[in-house]
Chain A
Amino acid sequence: MNDPIGNEMYSLHVNGQDRAVMDAWVGESLLYVLRERLGLPGAKGACEQGECGSCTVLMDGDAVCSCLVMAATAVGSEIVTVEGLVEQNPTMAVTAHAITSQVTDVQQAFITEGGVQCGFCTPGLIVAVHHLLDKNPDPTELEVKESISGNICRCTGYGRIFAAVEAVVQVRKANS
């Protein structure tokens, strides 16, 4: 084979750390590198076309579909995945019900409001909702719907997800 797969080496800045990417093939997506090379399977692949939002991560503060980003082009960018949200939002970390793990207020609300069923869309939605509320702390119902309309959920019909976002908005308002 003429173009052996492998040998590329570069470094990505993910969840506050420099991570070396070894023996990669240049054609790999950011989603593939996060999941298969850096041990961060939180972002999910479900459409490969940027339609479903399951692979949403933050890249320099923007919510992006990591399936559409070539990993090698993300060198130098700040990448935050669902696994890094607690560290990125330390003041929001709360102790989840009956569990000692740290989760963010958005993660907590998804659990307590019933926004999680199969959970495959959940990491992408959590990232998208953090992104929304960081930019717009008091969104209208329509703004919430529009901002997560790029994240497909097949289980919930979205009702409990709206409830989770609303719960976070109310708690943050009360605390501010």
Chain B
Amino acid sequence: MSATKQDVRSRDTLGASALRPDGVAKVTGAFSFSSDMWAENMLWGATLRSPHPYARIISIDTTPALLISGVSAVLTAQDVPGKATYGLISADQPVFASEYVRYMGEPVAIVAADHPETCRRALEAIIVNYEVLTPVVDPELAMLSSTELIHPDGNLIRHQHIVHGDPNAASDITVEGNYTIGMQDQAFLGLEAAMAFPDSGGNGVELHIATQWLHEDRGQIAACLALPEENVRLVLGGVGGAFGAREDISLQVHCCLLALRTGKPIKMQYSREESFFGHVHRHPAKIWMKHHATKDGKIVKIESRMVFDGGAYTSTSPAVLINGITHTQGPYQCDNAIVDGYAVRTNNPPCGAMRGFGVVQACFAHESQMDLLAAACGLSPVDVRLKNAMRTGDKLITGQTVESVAPVERCIRETDAIPMPEPMSQKANVLEFPGGSGRTADRHNIIRGVGWGVSIKNLMYSEGFDDYATARCTLSDGVASLKFATSEVGQGFVTLAPQIARSVLGIDEVVLETSDTQIGSAGSTSASRQTWMSGGAVDGACRLVRERLFEHVGKLHNIDPIRLMVENTDIIDTVGTFRISVSDATQGITISETFEHHHRKTEDLDENGQGNCHVAFAFVAHRAVVDVDVELGLVKVVQIATAQDVGRVLNPLSAIGQLEGGIAQGLGLAVMEEIIMDNGRVKNPSFTDYLLPTALDAPRVVAIMIEEPEPQAPLGAKGIGEPPCISVTPAIVAAIRSATGKALLRVPVRPQDICL
């Protein structure tokens, strides 16, 4: 133990670039991802999926599959003992399709067998007779009363109206546009995977799962299995990225069903192709937006209509929609607004959470509009944004006052002050040209462009939801151990939690217990919320422990505990000379406390879309510099300059990783990534055909973190995960517009949008 202590650098407390405690395991291959699990006598599970976007199931014959040697079980809808459906907001998604399949890839049956290849053959042997129906794939058509209802709950998932201020407010100038956002995939690297262990009596199950929210999964799984929640134990399997795609149930129920049926451990993992069908995507959206402004560029009123394609099942569509429409104005002052938002059911793949959660779509529209407004008023993109920049105390179009620190002007000015990149060198390698390794761009056709994007993003859950987080701290013999159910998906909460404990308790050695359902919920690793929420819970638990430690030390040494404080690794008497190391003070004793962190209450929106529905907000500015081969329509993003409102930097190394990673995903949506749909069919479910940014696509990122501690946040720090990926997309598109003069009303921008 002393050897370990010597290796600890000068105190990895809050503010230090503490290193990941799982780093060594991850670089040596020793870290156990959920797909790395293996058990004696385990069987493999696999899923039969619908080849049709919309069809009636006439019959399913599983007998031929059961006859294959090595096959242990084949299950369909009739084998679900509990609730037949699940869902995060509305339980409208079947565990297995029974009467109808409503999207391509919907699960119909599952098998358990001794080898993945046996599974594949078993799936092939199942005979399903479908009556193929014409899919409803256009959300505008799906909403019409004349259109067939494709689900008993109807085709309109949610409509919300916002009217704010004077809807008839007059202005000098109007600009409007119709914007389209394509369907993006989260494309985490670690495919869906789980292992389920049945209890010996068959009355319970333990599921090791890569998920964003253990407790939410447990509730949904237990209901479908008809088991009490306490008989369903979830343990966090190593998570290979999430980005929203692990909020919904994928293989959880299936894996448990097979384990309970066969009495053996079941391993399930999706292939990449299957993963494209196995999780929800970012909503494709169509947005009409009209800005009314004074002739000097001050926004007077915004009108908008947003239609989000929710696909076949609800998932988080109602919440994504609300995020979209309540961020219509962007980070700008706006007194008057009329907005209507629709989340619509279609026979496209279900859409739900992805980093940015509805705000990405709204931001592409409002930032495109700001550039139109700038042009109409003869202002620069920077000046039009500065003129309208939101400040703390301003009202949103929902009537909510922005109480958060709102350094929008600073974000813009500090981004603007970042030096521009050098012009493309005459000696530039062809790999640096647009198109990169395709090596097809011609230097003479390359034009450079610059564009801007600024955004506001809500933090935590909204509309009255209490997404609290729980943590326990146990201090004994100079070692703190922390227990929470927080999903570590790569973001670095496992690094941050010990930093918090070291800062509060003055110890250096912190042990993390297993993340599982043996403690209260931590809420989801989403909505940029875990640093604030689980961080707040860890901070709270450690403070309670510290309080009890002071009482213990005070009693022992006859000092009023109120006089004690932690200084580095010692407890000191602030008005005397007493000093004892925390390590010495905790020898032979154990103090354990559990804390739940709740954020302040939020409200539902009323019928006019008014209400304090969000908790807090973060802001960011992006400036993109691109090179475009205007003949071939190829784009190279050269530099992204950004200044982000982070509240407080708790770990600089982790923070820059979030900024750079988010920017790459926003770049993907701008120029590369789209799930291509054709009448309800996914045309590109592979990494060969769904293009992701590679090392050669990565721009130079120059980032500034603006530290103005957020009074509401337990650690002063805002969530930083989502903002980086939001306004970078419109910034890149604006830069392409400036290089090409094209309107470019949809993302991703494809070569044909530029050169044809």
B327 to chain A, nearest CB (A): 23
B465 surroundings in chain A (CB, below 8 A): none
The reply to whether the CB of B741 lies closer than 8 angstroms to some CB of chain A is no
In the complex, are the beta carbons of B189 and A52 less than 8 A apart? Answer: yes
Q: Taking the nearest CB of chain A, how far is it from the CB of B622, in angstroms?
A: 13
Q: Could you say which residues of chain B place their CB within 8 Å of the CB of A113?
A: 653
B226 proximal to A (CB < 8 A): no
| Contact yes or no, B695 A149, CB < 8 A | yes
Contact with A along B1-40 (1 / 0, CB 8 A): 0011001110000000101101111111111110110100
A116 in contact with B26 (CB, 8 Å)? yes
**B-side interface residues, number (CB < 8 Å):** 77
Over the window 132-170 of chain A, the binary record of Cβ atoms lying under 8 Å from chain B Cβ atoms (1 yes, 0 no) is: 000000000010111011111111111111100000000
Chain B residues closer than 8 Å to A1, beta-carbon distance: 68-70, 121
Known: A142-B429, A158-B698. A48 touches B272 (CB 8 A): yes
- Which A residues are closer than 8 A to B by beta carbons? 1, 4-6, 25, 27, 32, 35-36, 39-49, 51-52, 54, 81-83, 85-86, 95-101, 103, 107-108, 110-114, 116-123, 126, 142, 144-146, 148-162
CB contacts (< 8 Å) of A97 on chain B: these are: 7, 9, 19
Q: Can you identify 14 A-B contacts, CB atoms within 8 angstroms? A: A45-B191, A47-B272, A49-B272, A81-B29, A116-B23, A117-B490, A146-B431, A146-B696, A148-B695, A149-B694, A152-B687, A152-B694, A157-B659, A159-B698
Please state if B29 and A153 are interface contacts (CB–CB under 8 Å): no
Describe A's contact surface by its main secondary structure. Answer: loop
Docked-complex contact B117 and A117, CB < 8 angstroms: no
Interchain CA distance A119-B210 in the complex, whole Å = 13
Contact status of A157 and B664, CB under 8 A, knowing A46-B191, A103-B28: yes
Which A residues are in CB contact (< 8 Å) with B116?
Answer: 32
Q: Is there an interface contact between A47 and B687, defined as CB atoms closer than 8 Å?
A: yes
In the bound complex, do residue A120 and residue B240 qualify as a contact, i.e. CB atoms below 8 Å apart? yes
Q: Which residues of A contact B656 (CB under 8 A)?
A: 114, 159-160
Query: A107–B25 Cα gap in the complex (Å)?
Result: 10
Q: Is B489 an interface residue (CB 8 A)?
A: yes
Q: Which residues of A contact B654 (CB under 8 A)?
A: 114
* A22 CB to nearest B CB, Å: 13
CB of B7 within 8 A of CB of A98, answer yes
Binding site for A on B (CB under 8 A): 3-4, 7-9, 17, 19-20, 22-33, 35-36, 38, 68-70, 114-118, 121, 186-191, 238-243, 271-273, 429, 431-432, 436-437, 489-492, 653-654, 656-657, 659-665, 686-688, 692-696, 698, 701
Q: Which residues of B contact A35 (CB under 8 A)?
A: 36
**Of all chain B residues, which has the CB nearest A81?**
B29
Q: Chain B at the A interface: mostly helix, strand, loop or mixed?
A: loop
A122-B27, A152-B189 known; A117+B70 contact, CB < 8 A: no
Find out whether the CB atom of B26 lies under 8 angstroms from the CB atom of A119.
Answer: yes
Q: For residue A40, give the distance in angstroms from its CB to the closest CB of chain B.
A: 7
Q: Is the CB of B687 within 8 A of A52?
A: yes
Contact B189 A160 (CB under 8 A): no
> A1–B273 Cα gap in the complex (Å)?
27
Residues of B within 8 A of A96 (CB): 23-24
Cβ–Cβ < 8 Å partners of A42 in chain B: 28-30
A150 to B27, CA, bound (A): 18
Closest approach, in angstroms, between the C-beta of A4 and any C-beta of chain B?
Answer: 7
Q: Which residues of A contact B187 (CB under 8 A)?
A: 154
Q: Is there contact, CB below 8 Å, between B69 and A121?
A: no
Taking each of B26, B686, B698, which has the highest tally of chain A beta carbons within 10 Å of its own beta carbon? Answer: B26
Is B657 a contact of A160 with CB atoms below 8 Å? yes
- Given A49-B688, A114-B656, A156-B660, do A121 and B437 touch, yes or no (CB 8 Å)? no
Whether A36 lies near B38 (C-beta < 8 A) is yes
A155 interface neighbour in B29, B69, B653, B661, Cβ under 8 Å: B661
**Are B695 and A145 in touch, CB under 8 angstroms?**
yes
Interface pair A159/B701, CB less than 8 Å apart: yes
A142-B29 contact, Cβ under 8 Å, with A1-B68, A118-B190, A157-B662 = no
The docked-state distance in angstroms from the alpha carbon of A43 to that of B22 is 17
Let me know if A154 and B243 touch, CB within 8 A: yes
Q: Which residues of the other chain, B, contact A99 by a CB distance below 8 angstroms?
A: 7, 24
- Taking a contact as CB atoms under 8 Å apart, the answer to whether B687 and A51 are in contact is yes
- In contact, A118 and B701 (Cβ under 8 angstroms): no
Chain A residues with CB under 8 A of B117: 5, 25, 27
Cβ contacts under 8 Å, B30 to chain A: 42, 83
B432, A154: Cβ atoms under 8 Å? no
Whether B114 and A5, one on each chain, are in contact in the complex, defined by CB atoms closer than 8 angstroms, is yes
Whether the Cβ atoms of B698 and A145 lie closer than 8 Å is: yes
Interface contact A142-B431, CB-CB below 8 Å: yes
If A108-B27, A156-B664 are given as contacts, then 6 extra A-B residue pairs at C-beta distance below 8 Å, sorted by A number, are: A27-B117, A97-B19, A116-B26, A118-B489, A149-B437, A150-B694
CB of A154 within 8 A of CB of B241, answer yes
What is the bound-complex CA distance between A40 and B68, given in angstroms? Answer: 30
B23 A83 Cβ-Cβ under 8 A: no
In the complex formed, the residue of A with least CB distance to B187 is A154
Q: Which residue of B lies closest to A6 (CB)?
A: B115
Q: Looking at the complex, which one of A44, A126, A161 makes contact with B240 (CB distance below 8 Å)?
A: A44
User: In the complex, which residues of chain B have a beta carbon less than 8 angstroms from the beta carbon of A27?
Assistant: 117
Name the contact of B698 in the complex, choosing from A45, A54, A157 (C-beta under 8 A). Answer: A157
- Collect the chain B residues with CB atoms within 8 Å of residue A81's CB: 29
Closest B residue to A108 using CB positions: B27
Known contacts A42-B28, A145-B698, A155-B657: does B22 contact A119 (CB below 8 Å)?
Answer: yes
How far apart sit A108 and B654, CA to CA, in the bound complex (Å)?
16
What residues of A have a CB within 8 angstroms of the CB of B23 in the complex? Answer: 96, 110-111, 116
A83 CA / B30 CA spacing, docked (Å): 8
**Judging by beta carbons under 8 Å apart, are B660 and A44 in contact?**
no
- The smallest beta-carbon distance between B236 and chain A, in angstroms, is 13
Most buried by A among B9, B115, B239, B688: B115
**Distance between Cα atoms of A35 and B29 in the complex (Å):** 11
